[in-house]
Structure 1
Amino acid sequence: MKKPLLPALLLELRLVLHSRLATGAVVLLLLLSALSVWSGLQAVAAQRAALERVAASHQADLASVVKKYADGADAGSVAYATPHLTTNPPAPLAFAAFGQRDVQPFSLRVRLLGLHSQLYESETINPELAMAGRFDFAFLLVYLAPLFVIALMHDLVTGEREAGRLRLLSSLPTGTGGIWRRRVGLRFALVWLAALLPLAAGVGIAGAGAAALGQVALVATLYLAFWFGLAAWVAGRARSSAGSAAILLACLVGLTMIVPTAVDAAIARAVPVSKGVELALAQRQEVHNGWDLPKPLAFEKFFRNHPEWKDTPPVTGRFHWKWYYAMHQAGDEAVAPQVAQYRASMGAREDWTARAGLLLASVNVQVLLHRLAATDLQAQLAYQERIGGFHTQLRRFFYPYFFNEQPFGRADFARMPAYEAVTPEGSLPAGPLAALALLALLAGVLGMRRLNRVS
């Protein structure tokens, strides 16, 4: 007759809690998860505070420009002196997976000058500071949670064998299959709760919503299921607890560090990407060359893509603002193919990383969490596209003043376009999620089948 499930689970729970290693591992995972959530929330709060300081400083600068040109001025001087603030506020779930927000700008002040030189000159970062990454929930889940799976699972079978109880368990009329399922399920539940309870609190504090919590929990569940399945398979084959732990640690190092690093290096070699600062320098070089060109030739480059201004009065003096800004726009358009290639290469790297994640659960989880938190490369490129669209609005606003030589007064400041910040929204890609589910299912089935054959 089968033993009732609840008393059996309570008995298994007492056995787990009786082990100091298991209890300590669960408590430590709970504390580390809480620390990772707190660290992420602090980082998001720091970025929001920085955005508020930047906005206050920008308003003061803008007020000084308005005061300086209150009595009227030429639009070229106003456009040159006026900065325009663009911001990329963090999504509510950004605290869980900080991603690109640590290494890419989340605010940028642009002027009517060449766009690409302003976009890409800010990409210079200290690689040593970026290398360590941030201790967020994504880091905890990918790199640390498997350690606690190993701590709870490495002696699942060998501990019984070394204690002399395995032969007795195997002689039970019901067999050992139900026992192993209960023990693996209980350990899975303990790790799951220790990892996700602090995350649930963080989601509530950040206001990310129940749907976001459910999506992150789904990703975490599948990733933990993969590691529990792998640990069960190793536990069913190992002959000693030390050997089981050594094999699982080797799997951890290989699957989360060595293989992903090798894949990343292979992708970097196969898909070379120029540095963003090179694009900024190329654009500036085009502008510098424009100073040495005859004005009709400089305007010819500009009028190719902007024929609507071709019939405006020509420039007869040594300098005119419309000539100056036409050179900057022509410089942007000259490097546009390089920018398109740069963005395509970055996108190709991201696509190949996602493809690698179809076979590497650790890579897949990072792809999924960073997309959910809107902190991946796709979100950063979307921010740059919004800046580009705003820069186009500025040009359309100022060009009539330049080319038609209209005066610029105080009332025109109120009509000047202002950037509207957009809080990025994450998503859960179906393809990578399905691949992670398949890996988890495969590992779980193989692991439990192996445990059922233990004798």
Structure 2
Amino acid sequence: MSWLAHEWRLLVRSRLAVAALALLLALSALAVLSGMREVARQQQTIARLAALQQQDLAAQARKYAQGGDAGSAAYYTFHGTWDAPSPAAFLALGLRDAAPYVLRVRALALQAQLHEGESFNPELALAGRFDFAFVLVYLAPLFLIALLHDLVSSERRSGRLGTLLAMPGAGRRLWLRRAGLRTALVFGCLVLPVLAGAPGSGSAMATVAAVLCATAAYLAFWSGLALLVATRSGSSAANAMALMGCWAVLTLVLPTIANAALARALPVHQGVELMLAQRQAVHAAWDLPPQATMEKFFRTHPEWRHTAPLPSGFHWKWYYAFQQLGDQSVAPQVAAYREGLLARQRWTSRLGWLLPGVGVQAALHRQADTDLQAQLAYQDRIAEFHARLRAYYYPYLFNEVRFGFRDFAAQPRFSPPARSSETPAGQLLGLGLMAIFALALGVAATGRVRPA
């Protein structure tokens, strides 16, 4: 291992290289710390709102100590739902930065309640969070470029290249040793904070291993690309400019163009439009004959057809019937909305096989359970709970049963399922293949270095 000690001594003589590695380590540690603080803040918010929710339920329950009306209880009682961050969420916050992770729902029409949380200032979400995924995708390649762009050109400029190539053990092995050491140090600076933070977050070993594999594959791709450019006969400045151009195209330009093309090819209406359409259907029901509304409701809920007819004036079962009809009226739009989002997600995953930045982001967000799939899964859990809530209230409403204290206490409660870590095998495979291809080109290029 004498070569390792020798290469290390040469590296530490470069103040720029040492400063770059120290800065990367500090940025990675700061990103991990920032992610853990944001996850802790979200967990505290969920805990605080859960306590307030219990107080609100206790206050509502006291109103039914002597019995009351089920329709009133369903209208005034809010039920808390939440999506707790996964143990690995501190690495890649993803959509948790913009999508609601706590939502209170009632037994009223669901779609308006689901998409009320989409009203936020887009400028605040534009920059995203400073987390490990940001440092890895956007900053780590820049540090590799700084460390590898003059790997050969600096020796050529100083006049040592011919002597180096004439020495035993030089040639391809020399450049691979130097590039390998620099890449390994960049990898260490990135993952040491991750390894330090993972035990405190409760991340499983399989999760950490998947993150390390994604990081290693992404760095291997950029190392191979840097070797391919650095072993040319160009100057250090020309190599740096070429690699910076590759970085800009691969991490900024092409993903932006691809995102715009997907948005144009797969147009998806905003969830706010679903909310407005559903509310319009609900508000219009006030002007329709109540019996016509009930007849339409009985087509999908025939079990309540033979209950007592509507009295004159307002009745809660008519009110909740047209609330559910409001959801049913936008069901095709909801299905199209979700399918459009999932289609974009599928194409984004496919792009990850061509654009390493997209691929590693998709892998980290899937591993951290902070992507679109996780957001839609939370909405599905809310919808399932909302259906149980309606099913609980309907017998009281349609059979006109009095609603008491025990009935209030027996209402369904939201309980999120236990999380199961999902390894993003497809994204990791794509990253691995791109890394192997880039490394193969870089290794082949190191054998073509000449003194001239």
TM range (shorter): over 0.9
> What is the distance in 1 between the residues matched to 2:6 and 2:170?
17
What is the aligned counterpart of 1:40 among 17, 35, 39?
35
Aligned 8 A contact 2:207 2:423 in 1: no
What is the aligned counterpart of 2:328 among 333, 355, 375?
333
What is the aligned counterpart of 2:66 among 68, 71, 92?
71
Aligned 8 A contact 1:90 1:424 in 2: no
- Which secondary structure state, in structure 2, belongs to the residue aligned with residue 401 of structure 1? helix
1:282-431 to 2 correspondences below 5 Å: 282-422=277-417, 424-431=419-426
TM superposition shift of 1:18: 0.8
Q: Does 1:132 align with 2:135?
A: no
Matched with 1:221 is 216
Matched with 1:151 is 146
1:50-69 to 2 correspondences below 5 Å: 50-69=45-64
Amino acid in the other structure paired with 1:125:
F
Q: TM-score, normalised by structure 1?
A: 0.97
Matched with 2:22 is 27
Identity over aligned pairs, percent: 53
1:262-277 to 2 correspondences below 5 Å: 262-277=257-272
Task: Give CA-to-partner distance per residue, 1:355-392, whole Å, 9 cap, x none.
Answer: 11110000000000000000000000000000000001
- Which secondary structure state, in structure 2, belongs to the residue aligned with residue 73 of structure 1? coil
What is the aligned counterpart of 2:433 among 435, 438, 442?
438
- Which secondary structure state, in structure 2, belongs to the residue aligned with residue 427 of structure 1? coil
Amino acid in the other structure paired with 1:366:
Q
Pairs aligned (count):
450
User: Measured at CA, do residues 438 and 305 of structure 1 come closer, stay the same or move farther in structure 2, by a change above 3 Å?
Assistant: same
Q: Does 1:197 align with 2:192?
A: yes
Q: Does 1:8 align with 2:3?
A: yes
TM superposition shift of 1:423: 5.0
TM superposition shift of 1:238: 4.4
Aligned 8 A contact 1:238 1:244 in 2: no
Aligned 8 A contact 2:294 2:321 in 1: yes
> What is the distance in 2 between the residues matched to 1:300 and 1:164?
91
Divergent runs of 4+, >6 A: none
Q: TM-score, normalised by structure 2?
A: 0.98
> What is the distance in 1 between the residues matched to 2:333 and 2:17?
55
Mind listing any 5+ residue stretches in structure 2 that lack a counterpart? none
Q: Does 1:163 align with 2:161?
A: no
1:200-279 to 2 correspondences below 5 Å: 200-279=195-274
TM superposition shift of 1:434: 1.2
> What is the distance in 1 between the residues matched to 2:165 and 2:6?
18
> What is the distance in 1 between the residues matched to 2:310 and 2:28?
65
Mind listing any 5+ residue stretches in structure 1 that lack a counterpart? 1-5
Task: Give CA-to-partner distance per residue, 1:178-218, whole Å, 9 cap, x none.
Answer: 11111111111101101100011111111112221111000
Aligned 8 A contact 2:61 2:409 in 1: no
> What is the distance in 2 between the residues matched to 1:288 and 1:124?
21
> What is the distance in 2 between the residues matched to 1:425 and 1:128?
33
Amino acid in the other structure paired with 1:208:
S
